[in-house]
Structure 1
Amino acid sequence: MIQIVTCYNPPALIRVLFRRPARFPPIDDPAMQALYLDDGQITAIDDHQVDPGQGEVVVDVIQAGICETDLQLRAGYMGFRGVPGHEFVGLAREGSFAGRRVVGEINCSCHQCPTCRAGRPTHCPHRSVLGILNHDGAFAEQVCVPERNLHLVPDDVSDDRATLVEPLAAAFQIPAQVDLSGAPQCVVIGDGRLAYLCAQVLRHHGCHVTVVGKHAPKRQRFESLGFETCDRDDVPETRDVDLAVECCGSPTGIDTAMKWLRPRGTLVLKTTVAAPHAASLAPLVIDEITVVGSRCGPFEPAIEAMRHDAIEVDSMITARYRLDQCQDAFDVAADGKHMKVVLSIAAGGGNID
């Protein structure tokens, strides 16, 4: 259940689309809005304060996207308590990007432990994760982010596109993990926002992609981009797909993927499911399936893809809300009718449906 406690709307910052000098309110503004998650309840608060740690900078959030992980957090995933939100664009207040628009990677790692030194900082055992694990996120007027996690947003990338850099980077993690040479046959399980990005990234790397989903209107979005689609309940004549990417966030996703995947094929799991569920591992063993867990990905190719219009993202944001409209925002994001819901946080940041 979501509760609204206050509708206070203090001044924030001027919306910025291109590089220009930034003027900030005092960093110790006593009245900052945020969304607070505790025991499955999202509450709008107006007394949020930030306290940057060593190596962190304060970012004034322009807007932030609600994703499936945020909905899963509300359902109990990770037991998170605090300010959620990790898909964002904002203005850095300090550091090398001061006054510039930035996006940020979500894993806040120590960069000193053996795991980090071995080149695996996203799996640092001491890490916090922005808006997900022991670190307040971006559903707030300000967020603290390690400076080394920030990436400059080019002047020719809009705020809307920048808000989608983090999920697009997650899609670009697939070619970072799996050999896509030889134009493999691929199937994407799911017809939502993550599937929309993953299917395009796979095609961008030369794959032949079929999208499998249960919602005919959503499948039409893929068809408009030239993808072949199939209803989830249809059974293919042969199991000849080299790579299956599960993007549906449902316990049934693996079973659906196995209907398509050839023996010794590769199954990439892109989503997490909060609820406990049973799964038979026998088919994976019998068919010698390679299973790849896939999380966060590289920001650089995602930003470059947006700069060069290589991935269609402009149609994805279909609803906008203020922080004090969090109940409506989360309800709309959860009902599955909108591709992407964003929270407009900076002053003048949009409707507000």
Structure 2
Amino acid sequence: MRALVFTGPSTVEMDDVAEPEVGEDDVLVHVRSAGICGSELHGVRTPGFRVPPLVMGHEFAGVTDDGVPVTVNPILSCGTCDLCRDGLRQVCRERRIIGVHLPGAFAERVAVPRSALHKLPEEMSWEAAAVVEPAANAVHAWRLADVAPGARVGVIGAGAIGLVCVLAALTEDTASIAVADRSPERRRMASLLGAATVGGELSGEFDVVLDAVGTGETHEQSVRLLRPGGVAIWLGLADAGAGFDATMLVRTEKRVLGSFAYTDDEFARAAELVGGWGLGWTASYPLESGAEIFTDLMRGGSHPVKAILRP
């Protein structure tokens, strides 16, 4: 079958690969849509967490052999440890991720555990289905923030994760949402989706700041702009530097929480939400164009915000 393969640093290539091995507890999913994630762009530039050769793709949907439309929770856990028993499968010490540790969905077909399937409504578009996984990240981040109605919310970064954070926050009773991004086009999209203010940087004071970029600079901004007692949620993974004076947390009782993924309930909630969201910031391309699209985004291209590959 055809697949987009991560073959080496900064290199992805279309190639013919072996058909998936379908185990006794697995289901073969015929991929209909697979989103390119910013973490994959970063991972190809700086291999480590993802090791080539690898078929990536963890944001995806498709149909089973009997035609059932499904999306897939790509996080696989042991299911028996203390964390899994407490409903925290996403931080299981033994977790594996489809598209990272196992072959993913930048391909015509992928084998996944039956337990990872989530049935979709027949009327959901494949573009919306591919956004369920990133949307689940936003639902989780918002729940971690645990903010009161009327909270002042800042979002740093209007890429796909930043925009779904805006949409998730708008689902709640927030007073105002400010979005910062260097791209005028992405700022325009955030405004169209409902952000009250947009700009190159955040200004003012916030109850919660969601950092969907993850550099030392944005980490520093996310903490500095919080009110005393506020919370910064870090979702971005651009670099490892913390970037701020930690004594600020002590003196003002600000909090910083990491947000890696989502619980099963949050994944299901995301599947309920995305069908009603504006998704004009996504664009679909044939899988055969995957190497060109992926490479352009990896080299700094900003359009589209979310590229979705369609086998």
Note whether the superposition's TM-score is higher than 0.5.
yes
Report the CA distance between 1:77 and its aligned residue. Answer: 4.7
> Residues 111 and 260 (structure 1 numbering): CA distance in 2 closer, same or farther, change over 3 Å?
same
C-alpha RMSD over aligned residues: 2.0
Q: 2:4 corresponds to which residue?
A: 35
Q: Does 1:329 align with 2:293?
A: yes
Partner Cα separation in structure 1 for residue 68 and residue 37 of structure 2: 25
Report the CA distance between 1:283 and its aligned residue. Answer: 2.7
Partner Cα separation in structure 1 for residue 169 and residue 135 of structure 2: 12
Q: 2:77 corresponds to which residue?
A: 109
Q: Deviations over 1:34-70 (max 9, x none)?
A: 1221332212221332113452211111121111011
Flag the structure with higher helix content: 2
Q: Does 1:299 align with 2:267?
A: yes
Report the CA distance between 1:271 and its aligned residue. Answer: 1.5
Report the CA distance between 1:168 and its aligned residue. Answer: 1.0
Partner Cα separation in structure 1 for residue 87 and residue 192 of structure 2: 40
Q: 1:349 corresponds to which residue?
A: none
> Residues 170 and 234 (structure 1 numbering): CA distance in 2 closer, same or farther, change over 3 Å?
closer
Q: Which residue of 51, 60, 73 maps to 1:80?
A: 51
Can you give the 5+ residue segments of structure 1 that lack an aligned partner in the other structure? 1-31, 346-353
Report the CA distance between 1:260 and its aligned residue. Answer: 1.9
Please say if residues 235 and 259 of structure 1, whose CA atoms lie closer than 8 Å, have aligned partners that are also in contact: no
Q: SS where residue 169 of structure 1 aligns?
A: helix
Partner Cα separation in structure 2 for residue 249 and residue 71 of structure 1: 14
Q: Which runs of 4+ in 1 moved over 4 A?
A: none
Q: 1:222 corresponds to which residue?
A: 190
Q: SS where residue 289 of structure 2 aligns?
A: helix
- Compare 213-222 and 80-89 and name the one that shifted more: 213-222
Q: 1:60 corresponds to which residue?
A: 30
Residue type at the aligned position of 2:64: A
* Residue pairs, 1:89-128, within 5 angstroms: 89-93=61-65, 98-128=66-96
Report the CA distance between 1:278 and its aligned residue. Answer: 5.5
Partner Cα separation in structure 2 for residue 53 and residue 114 of structure 1: 27
Please say if residues 35 and 45 of structure 1, whose CA atoms lie closer than 8 Å, have aligned partners that are also in contact: yes
> Residues 188 and 127 (structure 1 numbering): CA distance in 2 closer, same or farther, change over 3 Å?
same
Please say if residues 110 and 126 of structure 1, whose CA atoms lie closer than 8 Å, have aligned partners that are also in contact: yes
Partner Cα separation in structure 1 for residue 138 and residue 180 of structure 2: 17
Question: Identical aligned pairs, as a percentage?
Answer: 27
Q: SS where residue 216 of structure 2 aligns?
A: coil
Q: Which residue of 188, 210, 214 maps to 1:245?
A: 210
Partner Cα separation in structure 2 for residue 77 and residue 183 of structure 1: 41
Partner Cα separation in structure 2 for residue 287 and residue 306 of structure 1: 36
TM-score (norm 2): 0.89
Q: 1:181 corresponds to which residue?
A: 148
> Residues 289 and 80 (structure 1 numbering): CA distance in 2 closer, same or farther, change over 3 Å?
farther
Partner Cα separation in structure 2 for residue 53 and residue 128 of structure 1: 16
Partner Cα separation in structure 2 for residue 36 and residue 234 of structure 1: 38
Partner Cα separation in structure 2 for residue 328 and residue 226 of structure 1: 32
Name the larger-Rg structure.
1
Report the CA distance between 1:233 and its aligned residue. Answer: 4.2
Q: Which residue of 135, 145, 148 maps to 2:102?
A: 135
Please say if residues 66 and 333 of structure 1, whose CA atoms lie closer than 8 Å, have aligned partners that are also in contact: no
